[in-house]
């Protein structure tokens, strides 16, 4: 059995997280419940940042907050000195409300609206990561009208796509994001922005994939971007000061996953960037990364209560929980795998195999295909590990199921940071329909 971060098993045979009994948490706050091990989030944040400091390069580690956004986690991210990647007006609004330092906010997105761009200018955020030519037009117009400066990075697609242990290089990458590095789009975007009076082009950005377990793809991507930077330096005497290599560092969802330590990913990147910039004769740029999953993924555990069970003879045994694809869409969306444990009987032999079903009206609403557990009964508390990233943030009200509560645990203390939605919340924006009387 693999436990994460501060998790352990106490004398009652219960799972504990952050020194708090998970069974007590389920009883106090109800289930489904997202429990975040904040010490683990802090440890991950510090590990990334320390590696940059040891290597003595300029850096920013931006938390890719699409993984799990909210006021409380933004507050912890700020305490840890992280920067913040937001991708919508809603995430930006939440960050501002949390008091996050505005100058450390990076705004992403492939279809930012004028209202979102205005908000970024109003709040004087750190930078906008520019995705396309339409956005360049909007930004120029906005900056000129306001006579206001804004730092920008160009998001480029380097033609490298990485996922887990595989990566491929493609000539023309088919992606909805960014300017293609190989077909002239990136050069055109550069020409349209680098000399602009208000737009301050500070560097390049790329994000090559998710759940990546090796460093070669990051190295290739950084080499390609640095080559482009070297070309612009030679042709236009322009020096990029920032190279943002995105996120995508893998985590251990199940025993099939073997992630590297944060330090390994980062050290390899730094080495490549240093060598390539020295070769090209320009100063080593600041290196920015934006991990989401690798900062928050394994810090999150979801607690569910088991209800019904069903045997399909000679085929499988189902155990159903009180949540499902409404709080974790990843298994249904892309076959994501998870591991689990009975939190109230954590030391018992796991000699049965169950398919963990959700409660949504979809046959595909299965959280785990093959969960190794003791014989389960109604009322058992199931802990599903590594649900911290893209779980709550992708949750929905499908079937009018209310979103779970979120609790932070740290050093034996627990704190509710997001309340469970109520049925009243479900209809709070509804105004009903009044049928007009038929005209005579």
Ligand X SMILES: Cc1ncc(COP(=O)(O)O)c(C=O)c1O
Cβ 351 to ligand X, closest distance in Å?
35
Nearest to 116 by CA among 105, 316, 160, 430: 105
Strand-pairing partners, residue 244, are 205, 288
Q: Is 318 annotated as a binding residue?
A: no
Write b or e for each residue in 70-81: b if 16 or more Cβ atoms lie within 10 A of its Cβ, otherwise e. bebbbebbbebe
Q: Are residues 129 and 204 in contact, defined by beta-carbon separation less than 8 angstroms?
A: no
Q: Is 424 annotated as a binding residue?
A: no
Instruction: Write down the residue that tokens 């290739």 correspond to.
Output: 220
| Residue 87 or 341 with smaller CB distance to ligand X | 87
- Is the preceding omega at residue 32 within 30 degrees of 0, hence cis? yes
Residue 120: what are its φ and ψ, rounded to 5°? -60, -40
| Residue 51 or 355 with smaller CB distance to ligand X | 51
Q: Is 334 annotated as a binding residue?
A: yes
Q: How many CA atoms lie within 13 A of 177 on its CB side?
A: 18
Q: How far is CA 430 from CA 97, 316, 426, in A?
A: 25, 41, 8
| Residue 210 or 344 with smaller CB distance to ligand X | 210
Q: Is 390 annotated as a binding residue?
A: yes
Among residues 127, 206, 361, 386, the one annotated as catalytic is 361
Binding site for ligand X (CB under 6 A): 64, 67, 85, 108, 207, 210, 246-249, 290-294, 389
Cβ 308 to ligand X, closest distance in Å?
34
* Measured CA angle at 277 (ends 272, 278), to 5 deg: 100
Pairwise CA distance, residues 14 & 2, whole Å:
15
Q: Is 44 annotated as a binding residue?
A: no
* DSSP-derived secondary structure for 138-189: HHHHHHHHHT--EEEEEEEE-SEEEEETEEEE-SS---SSSEESSSSHHHHH
| Residue 85 or 380 with smaller CB distance to ligand X | 85
Cβ 294 to ligand X, closest distance in Å?
6
Cβ 129 to ligand X, closest distance in Å?
7
Cβ 1 to ligand X, closest distance in Å?
25
Active site residue 361: yes
| Residue 162 or 303 with smaller CB distance to ligand X | 162
Q: Is 103 annotated as a binding residue?
A: no
Known binding-site residue numbers: 248, 290-293, 330, 334, 362, 390
Question: Which residues carry out catalysis?
Answer: 361
- Binding residues for pyridoxal 5'-phosphate, by number, are 248, 290-293, 390
Tell me the binding residues for substrate.
293, 330, 334, 362, 390
């Amino acid at each position: 059995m693999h436990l994460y971060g501060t998790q352990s098993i106490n004398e009652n045979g219960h799972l504990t997280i952050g020194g708090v009994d998970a069974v007590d948490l389920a009883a106090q706050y109800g289930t489904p419940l997202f429990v975040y091990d904040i010490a683990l989030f802090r440890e991950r944040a510090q590990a990334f940042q320390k590696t940059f400091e040891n290597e003595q390069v300029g850096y920013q580690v931006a938390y890719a907050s699409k993984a799990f956004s909210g006021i409380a986690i933004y507050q912890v991210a700020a305490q840890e000195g992280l920067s913040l990647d937001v991708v919508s007006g809603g995430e930006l609004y939440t960050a501002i409300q949390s008091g996050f330092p505005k100058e450390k906010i990076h705004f992403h997105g492939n279809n930012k609206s004028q209202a979102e761009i205005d908000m970024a200018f109003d709040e004087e955020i750190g930078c906008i990561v520019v995705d396309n030519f339409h956005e360049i037009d909007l930004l120029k117009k906005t900056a000129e009208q306001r006579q206001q400066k804004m730092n920008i990075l160009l998001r480029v697609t380097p033609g490298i796509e990485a996922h887990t242990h595989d990566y491929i290089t493609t000539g023309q990458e088919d992606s909805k994001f960014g300017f293609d590095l190989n077909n002239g789009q990136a050069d055109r975007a550069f020409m349209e922005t680098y000399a602009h009076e208000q737009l301050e082009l500070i560097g390049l950005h790329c994000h090559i994939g998710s759940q990546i377990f090796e460093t070669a793809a990051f190295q290739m991507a950084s080499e390609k971007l640095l080559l482009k930077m070297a070309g612009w330096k030679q042709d236009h005497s322009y020096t990029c000061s920032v190279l943002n290599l995105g996120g995508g560092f893998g985590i251990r969802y199940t025993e099939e996953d073997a992630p590297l330590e944060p330090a390994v990913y980062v050290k390899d990147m730094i080495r490549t960037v240093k060598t390539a910039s020295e070769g090209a004769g320009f100063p080593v740029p600041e290196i920015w990364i934006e991990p989401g999953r690798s900062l928050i993924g394994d810090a999150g555990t979801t607690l569910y209560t088991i209800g019904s069970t069903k045997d399909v003879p000679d085929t499988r045994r189902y155990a159903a929980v009180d949540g499902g694809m409404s709080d974790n869409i990843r298994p249904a969306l892309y076959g994501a795998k998870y591991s689990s444990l009975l939190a109230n009987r954590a030391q018992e032999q796991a000699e049965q195999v169950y398919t963990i079903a959700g409660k949504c009206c979809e046959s595909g609403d299965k959280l785990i295909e093959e969960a190794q557990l003791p014989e389960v009964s109604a009322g058992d508390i199931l802990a599903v590990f590594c649900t911290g990233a893209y779980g709550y943030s992708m949750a929905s009200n499908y079937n009018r199921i209310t979103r779970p509560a979120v609790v932070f645990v740290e050093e034996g203390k627990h704190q509710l940071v997001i309340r469970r939605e109520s049925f009243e919340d479900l209809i709070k924006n509804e105004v009903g329909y009044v049928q007009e009387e038929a005209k005579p």
